[in-house]
Amino acid sequence: MSDISVTTRTASPARAIGATVGFAAVVCVLSRLLLAGHAFDRVWAEDGAVFLVDARTHGFGSLIAEYSGYAHLVPRILALIGSWLPLAYYALFTVTVSAVVVGLLAWYVYASARHTTSSPTWALIAALALALAPAYRAEALGNLANLQWFLLPAAAWAVIDTRRTRIAPLVILAAATTSPLTILLLPALLLTHGRTALRTPATLALAAGLGFQAVVRFAGIHSVANPAPRSPGVYPAMATEILESVGSTPWAPAIAGIILIVLCLAAWFVGARKNLPATAFVVTSALFVAVPTVLNGSAQPRYVACGFVALVWAACLAAPALRRTFATGLAVILAASALLTFTADPYRVSGPSWTSEINSPCGPGKTHQADLSPQDWGAIPLPC
């Protein structure tokens, strides 16, 4: 009985600290946005033109709508909830709920990192990296459309999580039903679990999520933003377009290749120290940056942010074994990079006021256009 009491007393403070870290991550995200401008009164491009319009058009059917070639389940669930609110609150809702999701993921990362590293300090750094990564400032903060770039690295941590909890598979499932790029977690899964990988809950969650992606891709309804159905003959043409895009910007795959080589060499070095979870993070970091860059034809801040966070986590796993001088220097560098790039890019909040847009006068057709953020990105029709 006494052992149970001790365990309960130990677990409760740990949960409280984790919740505090998650709340701190929410505050960091919102603070970065508010310092850049009127973040609570801006609706991000896809949050309005894709997720809100689809939710208002298809209702629950929007959850299986394909946009840009894949499913976006988590953003679509949240947008559906937001569509039930008065329209005036949609901007506030999307920004706030997106920050809360990042906070919940940071809470999970803290708990897992503390268990893995046995270091509250490095667990804190690992968790807050999700909210403070420099490259997130460009476009990813405070919108539904870019939640996948927080879910993906959190799912990488869930892959190496050795605790027997139900949270890790849920994180992986949420990521996989939101982005097919979770397939890039397979090397980490194999590195961490070896021959038992196929029998782990993480693998089952990943398979279920990717299966959902396949169903939506080939049998789901089509977003209002891309209503034309895709015939089977479209896919070879898409592959050709990707190759042509890559060929027209040769510097992008070259940079991605260099990054991949450098990070794989780093993975070999870490692997030589027999730290397989750290190796998994380094390899995943390389894939998060290189593969989307090659497919897109150019490096985007959101790809770099994903890779940066995974690399920070590799450092957090290796840091407890380093000399204190090196570990302290690493922590100072990470803190400095976060502080110097804390404020979000003004581009993120450069669009017009959502409140002003939805209250603008109606046109002859009893509708009006509401412009979205960033500036000049586009507009959506709204009823009077």
Mean pLDDT value across residues 69-80: 95
Q: Is the pLDDT of residue 260 over 80?
A: no
- pTM of the complete model: 0.86
Task: Name which of 381, 372, 347, 350 is nearest 94 in CA terms.
Answer: 372
What are 379's strand-pairing partners? Answer: 371
pLDDT at 233: 46
pLDDT of residue 136: 92
Which residues are CB-contacts of 26 (< 8 A; sequence separation ≥ 6)? Answer: 99, 100, 102, 103, 131
Give 200-242 pLDDT, tens digit per residue. Answer: 899 999 999 999 999 998 888 888 877 655 444 444 554 555 4
Q: Are the beta carbons of 286 and 264 closer than 8 angstroms?
A: yes
- Which token pair is 290? 């290189």
Q: What is the pLDDT of residues 239-254, one digit of tens each?
A: 555 445 444 444 555 5
Q: What is the pLDDT of residue 256?
A: 52
**Residue 178 has which token pair?**
């939101």
Torsion of CA 296, 301, 304, 305, to 10 degrees: -130
Amino acid (one-letter) located at 120 = P
> Using CA atoms in the order 7, 9, 11, 14, what is the torsion angle rounded to 10 degrees?
-140
Three-state DSSP class for 180? helix
More confident residue, 7 or 43: 43
Measure the CA–CA gap between 143 and 97, rounded to whole angstroms. Answer: 8
Question: In this predicted structure, what is the pLDDT of residue 174?
Answer: 97
Q: Of 288, 339, 334, 367, which Cα lies nearest the Cα of 53?
A: 367
SS3 annotation, 208-234: HHHHHHHHHHHHCEECCCCCCCCCCCH
For residue 131, give every residue at least 6 positions away whose Cβ sits within 8 Å of its Cβ, in sequence order, or none.
24, 25, 26, 28, 29, 32, 102, 103, 106
Banded pLDDT at 328 (limits 50, 70, 90):
confident
Q: What is the pLDDT of residue 169?
A: 94
- Segment 82-105 mean pLDDT: 96
C-alpha dihedral over 305, 184, 62, 357, to 10 degrees?
Answer: 10
pLDDT at res. 62: 94
pLDDT at 164 over 80: no
In the prediction, which pLDDT does 1 show?
43
Domain boundaries, the chain: 17-232+326-349
- Compute the mean pLDDT over every residue in the chain, rounded to the nearest whole number: 83
In the block, tokens 């890559």 appear at: 246
* Tens of pLDDT, residues 127-149: 999 999 988 998 999 999 999 99
**Residue 196 in this model has a pLDDT that exceeds 90:** no
Q: How far apart are the first and last CA of the chain?
A: 65
Q: Please answer whether residues 103 and 58 qualify as being in contact, where contact means their C-beta atoms are separated by less than 8 angstroms.
A: no
Residue scoring higher pLDDT (109 or 255): 109
